Amino acid sequence: MVDVAAVDETFKRLQSHKGVLGIIVINADGIAIRTTFDNDLTVQYAALVSHFTVKARSAVKKLDGDNDLKFLRIRSKKHEIMIAPEFEKSHEYYLVVVQDPSRDS
Amino acid sequence: MAPVPPDFEDTAPGDARVDVGSTWRGQIVNSNTVGTETHPLKVGEVSTQTGSKETNGTQTDQEGGTASSNTKVQTAALASFVKSVEGMVQSELTKAMEEAEVLEPFTRAADDEQEPATCIYYLSPFQPDDTAADLNATSSQLNKHRLVVTCVSWSCTGQTIGAAFGRYDVEGWCTYPGALCTWNLGRETMSTSRPDHRIDTDTCLMSCAFHPAHPALVAGGTFNGELYVWDLSLEGDPQRGRSDVLLDVRHMEPIINITWQYSLTDAARYGTKDKSYRLVTLGADGKVLTWMWHKLEAPIFGYQLLFPQPGIDRRFVWGGACMAFQREPRGASAGQHGGSAAGSGAASANGKDAKGGKDGKGGKGGAKDVGSGGSGVAAGEAAGTFLEFSRAVAAGERIELRTPVREAGYQTHAGAVFGLDCSPFQRELFLSSSTDGSVRLYSSLKMQPLLSLEPTSSYLFAVHWSPFRPMVFAAAAADGCVYVYDLMRRHEVIRPVLTLDTNGMRKPVYALAFNPRKPDMLATGDPTGIQIWRLPSSLTAVRRGEEAALRKVAMAEDVIEMRREERERGHH
């Protein structure tokens, strides 16, 4: 239970940043295990982002076998989508943060 | 039986009465009342139902205690993962925020998206008092003479805005009182309906100008050609000087424009900053007079604008409609504000005379831009000439005024030219705006305009360069809009980047002034009052290489063509 509280704390800290719209943690199967978005948006993000991250990672690894993907930031017209992945076999997760930098709150 | 049609030959002229029977009354169709009915609707009711129902349930058996331990491991893994990436995500979030702030104007420019300007104040002495202290509002609060804002001017500190109130539609003698109103925007207790100073004049006030170095000195020109200088810091009567109305050499028509010009001679003679400036006034009668503001009894020099006419030896007085002086580019000589000692000006006159041009009909086809060499205080003129002149004026001698017109060959507008402004960054560039609805960019060295823009089909009354952005200018139109252009934009130079709808009622905007100190402030004057606008940052922050780009524009023959070539080169 201490661990759950720690995760919640982290979520709160991230959420307090300017312009953060939502946070999702996705597991290796592309299933969201923790989210602040509503259901539809979460499912969409989870499916699309995990695909994208796997593709990006394979690109990095194919260029150099010893290299690995550390972080992904997608700047779109409206948002910044940040993806922090972890590819360790036992705990493969992606943390997704969506931010709108032009928003004040 | 139809009546026999009258035969006109039957009747004697004495009893000339002929009855003509109606040809249509007999043809009215007979009408009958007939009823009709439908059969009543048939309604049936049928119900249906299923015979039986069945419920099924299913369930999995729980498998030992592995699941709970598994989730424990998972949450632990999750917590450690979240913890490990948190720092990275946080720093990226802050970074993204900072980047977005820095890149914001550029992304807008790239998208050609324009932030709107906001109207921060609406100032007018003729509106219901917002403080609502006195219910029996004085008559001065009602605009019974239907005065309009004829001119706006910022003080040198950029704190105070002054507006001249007068009328453009006066015929013959002016019997309407005018006024000069000033508001200090820096004051905490500023009232938008009650100006800090209100100076009433006998006739309509047609122009005003704040001193470029002294924040309280302001000059005003009236409809009958009188020139005033007021000092707003004086207690009681602020009037410091007034021109003699009976002098032989004076304006006999409204003073259209007042400009303060720096004079090296005066600076050397008086040594004070405020007395280093002379006043140059343009009258609708085509006279350009130079005054010392502290000795307004008589002008120290004067010119008459005479225009050569092709084919005829004689020169004509067309009158004046606007005036602007070339300014020393920034940084060339730090001490000089505005006018250069050897300043040549560009004055302009419209078709027949100023009054005729105002309704747009008189000025048809006759507008001409005229670069007048050495109007104002030319260094070449010996000081002795001035003295002689003023002595002669004082003695009431008849004086032949010289004409300063050097160049009259600029391509003419199709209507009267009411707006003129020289670039503060590039000597030879000047803008003109006309009642034909076009703004043109000229180089004083070329007869053809470098650029011709048509923001609207209505009249344009004023055009001004931004004092901060070399490539930005604004034009005020009779349809109530102010069109702001930015030649730095990569796409669509010919379209205004920003349109300010000042009153929403399509009432003309007669005056326009950029704040000399605060890049984001713009004042506009329309028939109801003045608006103070806050311009978006994209129009106030100087872009890299902007002055170089302006120099390039000055060298070009045709700006649109130049842009096209640039773009094509960019593509290859």
Residues B29-44 pLDDT 10s: 667 888 888 888 889 9
Cβ neighbour number for residue B338 with a 10 Å cutoff: 18
Q: What is the pLDDT of residue B331?
A: 33
> Chain B residues with CB inside 8 Å of A90's CB?
77
| CB contact A80 to B (< 8 Å) | yes
Residues paired with B209 in a beta bridge: B219
pLDDT band, residue B231 (cuts 50/70/90): very high
Q: What is the pLDDT of residue B400?
A: 66
| CB contact A52 to B (< 8 Å) | no
DSSP β-ladder status, B178-184 and B287-292: unpaired
| CB contact A99 to B (< 8 Å) | yes
- Helix extents (H) in B449-495: none
Nearest-angstrom CA–CA distance, B142 and B21:
66
Nearest-neighbour CA in chain B from A22: distance (Å): 12
Q: What is the pLDDT of residue B330?
A: 43
Q: What is the pLDDT of residue B475?
A: 94
Nearest-angstrom CA–CA distance, B150 and B509:
9
Whether B259 has a pLDDT exceeding 80, the answer reads: yes
Q: What is the pLDDT of residues B178-188, one digit of tens each?
A: 999 999 988 88
Q: With an 8 Å Cβ cutoff, are B94 and A17 in contact?
A: yes
The lowest-confidence range among A74-78, B101-105, B263-267, B373-377 is: B373-377
Q: What is the pLDDT of residue B382?
A: 32
Q: With an 8 Å Cβ cutoff, are A3 and B78 in contact?
A: yes
Nearest-neighbour CA in chain A from B103: distance (Å): 11
Q: Cβ contacts of residue B559 below 8 Å, gap of 6+?
A: B441, B450, B451, B487, B493, B553
Side-chain half-sphere CA neighbours of B535 within 13 A: 29
> Chain A residues with CB inside 8 Å of B77's CB?
90-91, 93
> Chain A residues with CB inside 8 Å of B92's CB?
71, 73, 82
Higher pLDDT among residues B300 and B328, named by residue: B300
The lowest-confidence range among B108-117, B356-365, B378-387, B538-547 is: B356-365
The lowest-confidence range among B48-57, B315-324, B351-360 is: B351-360
Q: What is the pLDDT of residue B549?
A: 85
Domains of chain A with bracketed CATH: 1-99 (3.30.450.30)
Q: What is the pLDDT of residue B532?
A: 92
What would the DSSP string read from start to end of B351-397? SS-HHHHHTSSTTTTT-EEEEETTTTT-TTS-HHHHHHHHHHHHTT-
**Averaged pLDDT score across all residues of chain A:** 88
Higher pLDDT among residues B343 and B324, named by residue: B324
pLDDT band, residue B358 (cuts 50/70/90): very low
Q: With an 8 Å Cβ cutoff, are B96 and A80 in contact?
A: yes
Nearest-neighbour CA in chain A from B126: distance (Å): 39
pLDDT band, residue B348 (cuts 50/70/90): very low
| CB contact A7 to B (< 8 Å) | yes
Q: What is the CA radius of gyration of chain B?
A: 36
Give the best residue of B71, B92, B98, B115 to mutate against chain A (max A CB count within 10 A).
Answer: B92
Q: Which of B244, B238, B192, B203 lies closest to B218, judged by CA?
A: B238
The residue type of B410 is: Y
> Chain A residues with CB inside 8 Å of B79's CB?
3-4, 6-7
Q: Cβ contacts of residue B3 below 8 Å, gap of 6+?
A: B21
ipTM greater than 0.90? no
**Averaged pLDDT score across all residues of chain B:** 77
| CB contact A73 to B (< 8 Å) | yes
Nearest-angstrom CA–CA distance, B294 and B316:
33
| CB contact A20 to B (< 8 Å) | yes
CB B266 within 8 A of CB B279: no
Nearest-angstrom CA–CA distance, B299 and B289:
6
Q: What percent of chain B clears pLDDT 70, i.e. is strictly above it?
A: 74
CB B377 within 8 A of CB B278: yes
Per-domain residue ranges for chain B?
250-287+297-454
The lowest-confidence range among A70-74, B159-163, B324-328 is: B324-328
Nearest-by-CA chain A residue for B92: A82
Option in B75, B76, B93 nearest A17 (CB): B93
Q: What is the pLDDT of residue B2?
A: 61
Q: With an 8 Å Cβ cutoff, are B92 and A82 in contact?
A: yes
Q: What is the pLDDT of residues B289-303, one digit of tens each?
A: 888 888 888 888 888
Q: With an 8 Å Cβ cutoff, are A101 and B99 in contact?
A: yes
The lowest-confidence range among A83-87, B6-10, B46-50, B411-415 is: B6-10
What would the DSSP string read from start to end of B77-145? HHHHHHHHHHHHHHHHHHHHHHHHHHHHHHHHHHHT--PPPEEEEEE-SSS--SS---SS--GGGS-TT
Whether B77 has a pLDDT exceeding 50, the answer reads: yes
Q: With an 8 Å Cβ cutoff, are B79 and A7 in contact?
A: yes
Q: With an 8 Å Cβ cutoff, are B90 and A86 in contact?
A: no
Option in B82, B92, B104 nearest A7 (CB): B82
Q: What percent of chain B clears pLDDT 90, i.e. is strictly above it?
A: 16
Cβ neighbour number for residue B198 with a 10 Å cutoff: 13
> Chain B residues with CB inside 8 Å of A34's CB?
78
Q: What is the pLDDT of residue B220?
A: 93
Cβ neighbour number for residue B408 with a 10 Å cutoff: 20
> Chain B residues with CB inside 8 Å of A4's CB?
75, 79
Whether A11 has a pLDDT exceeding 80, the answer reads: yes
- Write out the two tokens for B398: 């008849």
Whether B280 has a pLDDT exceeding 80, the answer reads: yes
Give the best residue of B83, B94, B97 to mutate against chain A (max A CB count within 10 A).
Answer: B97
Nearest-neighbour CA in chain B from A80: distance (Å): 8
Whether A76 has a pLDDT exceeding 70, the answer reads: yes
Q: What is the pLDDT of residues B94-126, one digit of tens each?
A: 888 888 777 766 665 665 567 788 888 888 888
- Write out the two tokens for B539: 């129009």
| CB contact B555 to A (< 8 Å) | no
| CB contact B99 to A (< 8 Å) | yes
Q: What is the pLDDT of residue B173?
A: 82
- Write out the two tokens for B306: 């005479």
Q: With an 8 Å Cβ cutoff, are B82 and A95 in contact?
A: yes
Q: What is the pLDDT of residue B71?
A: 54
| CB contact B104 to A (< 8 Å) | yes
Nearest-neighbour CA in chain B from A63: distance (Å): 24
pLDDT band, residue B472 (cuts 50/70/90): very high
Q: What is the pLDDT of residue B108?
A: 58
Nearest-angstrom CA–CA distance, B240 and B230:
5
Residues B163-176: b if buried by 16+ CB within 10 A, e if exposed? bbbbbbebeeebeb
Q: What is the pLDDT of residue A73?
A: 92
Higher pLDDT among residues B532 and B403, named by residue: B532
Q: What is the pLDDT of residue B558?
A: 85
Nearest-neighbour CA in chain B from A94: distance (Å): 9
| CB contact B239 to A (< 8 Å) | no
Q: What is the pLDDT of residue B248?
A: 78
Option in A19, A82, A102 nearest B89 (CB): A82
pLDDT band, residue B446 (cuts 50/70/90): confident
Whether A60 has a pLDDT exceeding 90, the answer reads: yes
Whether B360 has a pLDDT exceeding 70, the answer reads: no
Count contacts between A and B (CB, < 8 Å). Answer: 80
pLDDT band, residue B72 (cuts 50/70/90): low
The residue type of B113 is: E
Tell me the average pLDDT across B215-235: 91
CB contacts under 8 A, B 136-195 vs A, are none
Whether B307 has a pLDDT exceeding 70, the answer reads: yes
